[in-house]
Structure 1
């Protein structure tokens, strides 16, 4: 029997097993394993350090599991760590971040969806110029706009206030959200829009009854992007939020950079994990929707 005949009659499971051992597949697995270790090892160190007493941390073995695990550092990070003159933990910053993130995400996604819809289907006069201006704004470094925004918000008495920081995040998020929704709507069949127009649908009716229900994939992508960017923001919150509305990231920086007394690494690690829990949970529960949104054309173009 020839070799080709033996391969042809080999069981399908054997052929599949041989196919999984190709150099290309092994290289992919090696890359994925390396990438996973690159991101998971720091997370592991943070987790084990956050539940160790300081006596164990001073021994210097950062990879060792805790022999006497404790949740006291987490309690201290949440409601007892010093974030400046006050020692009330990071919980105040958490609620400040919630008050900043929720309206900023809702407004930026809502206005971005309307802009993308208008620029994709209605195309008003000067639409291309407006889109070019919005795209230019997406690539201007934020540091360049800090001083003009400070002066503008101070002139309308919004500087160092909760509405002021929401407006700033809305300004910085609008270009990217417009680009995201415009590219998504541009990938939809024009026949749907034309049929709705023939049936007598106007601007808002078509948007709310036709386009918005079809926008779930891109909305999920936009929510993940905006929540991550706004929740993790440090510079804008420090400059525009004011002392009464400092977000969680700013208070985390104050905890870690406290120079009085002993540096409590377990409390610092616990505070860092608490600060990152919202983006981590969002990716964990919405990851498959994010991939589905990308696959359906949410970031195409």
Structure 2
């Protein structure tokens, strides 16, 4: 038997190994540079006014009149912040008294509505959901006069219950939409298993659905708190003078026509008004993203 020689395997070029994913990520393509430039420009666009507001709030009026808007304060002072808090502290606590019930009640009602529409589906559920969904797109200004007339006839116009009730009414559609879409992503087998175990409407909601709803509750709370806290038109119309929220009092502080316009106090009052929504976003931003990804915008 003759010896057979196998063909030699082609030599592998070890000097031309493909680039690793880490090496590819380090390369800055024109598209990536464009994205970074856009993100930097967008961040600068939003952060530059905030920077001016913060440094101006720590300046004296003499330094502000010098005209160097972007310069850091030569001698920082907290007097503008003390004056601003003295003028808007009442509105701050009014906003707290309005925001807390105007957040808890719509979230609770929206969770019940979304749970019922997703699993129990009573007769006319689709029509009810359509009506609620249509209510989310009705402009607030269209409903102001009818609500003023009804609350005046009921004798609660200009009171704390009036402004809370208005925010509950306008918050119900979007809260129902959020929870309905969130519960629609929950497997029906989980609900059927709870039904087989003898669970009723409230037991399943309180012991099964509500404990697993923390991400969407955080999303709904952020949206509702931000909307209620930043509201101006509803607070101006329905809250009355004794319960005017912080945004209404901020408008009165900034647009005062008596004496010299104190820009440092105005900037400090504006930052105080925006501090609560900003703090909520920074503290619970991770939960907000998780809730959105878990089904808040699915349908």
Report if TM-score (shorter chain) is over 0.5: yes
1:17 and 2:29 correspond: no
1:32 matched to 2:39: yes
Could you list the runs of 5+ residues in structure 2 that have no partner in the other structure? Answer: 1-10
Match of 2:165 in 1: 167
Render the CA deviation track for 1:182-203: whole Å, top value 9, x for unaligned. Answer: 0000111111111111111000
Structure 1 residues not aligned, in runs of 5+? 80-88
**Residue correspondence of structure 1 range 199-210 to structure 2 within 5 A:** 199-210=197-208
Give the TM-score of the pair, scaled to structure 1.
Answer: 0.93
Q: Post-superposition shift, 1:10?
A: 5.3
Distance verdict in 2 for CA 1:61–1:129, change over 3 Å: same
- Shift, 1:53, TM fit: 0.2
* 8 Å CA contact retained: 1:217, 1:298: no
Q: Distance in 2 between matches of 1:184 and 1:230?
A: 22
TM superposition shift of 1:11: 6.3
- With over 3 angstroms needed to count, the CA separation of the structure-2 counterparts of 1:7 and 1:241, relative to structure 1, is farther
Which of 127, 146, 153 lines up with 1:148 in the alignment?
A: 146
Match of 2:73 among 66, 69, 76: 66
Aligned residue runs from structure 1 range 1-301, under 5 A? 6-8=15-17, 13-18=22-27, 21-79=28-86, 89-301=87-299
Q: Over residues 124-182 of structure 1, what are the superposed CA-to-partner deviations in whole Å (9 max), with x where a residue is unaligned?
A: 11111111110111000000000000011111111100011000000000000000100
Aligned partners of 1:49 and 1:269 also within 8 Å: yes
The alignment covers a number of residue pairs equal to 289
2:194 & 2:123 partners in 1: Cα distance?
22
Q: 1:85 matched to which residue of 2?
A: none
Task: Look at both structures and tell me which one has the larger radius of gyration over its CA atoms.
Answer: 2
Query: Structure 2 CA distance, aligned partners of 1:277 and 1:144?
Result: 30
Instruction: Name the CA distance, whole Å, in 2 between partners of 1:92 and 1:11.
Output: 60
Q: Which residue of 1 aligns with 2:5?
A: none
Alignment correspondent of 1:83: none
**Structure 1 segments of 4 or more deviating over 3 A?**
4-7, 9-16
| Inter-partner Cα distance in structure 2 for 1:155 and 1:283 | 39
Alpha carbons of structure 1 residues 243 and 300: separation in structure 2 relative to 1, 3 Å:
same
Cα distance in structure 2, aligned partners of 1:201 and 1:143: 43
Name which of structure 1's ranges 100-109 and 23-32 shifts more when overlaid on structure 2. Answer: 23-32
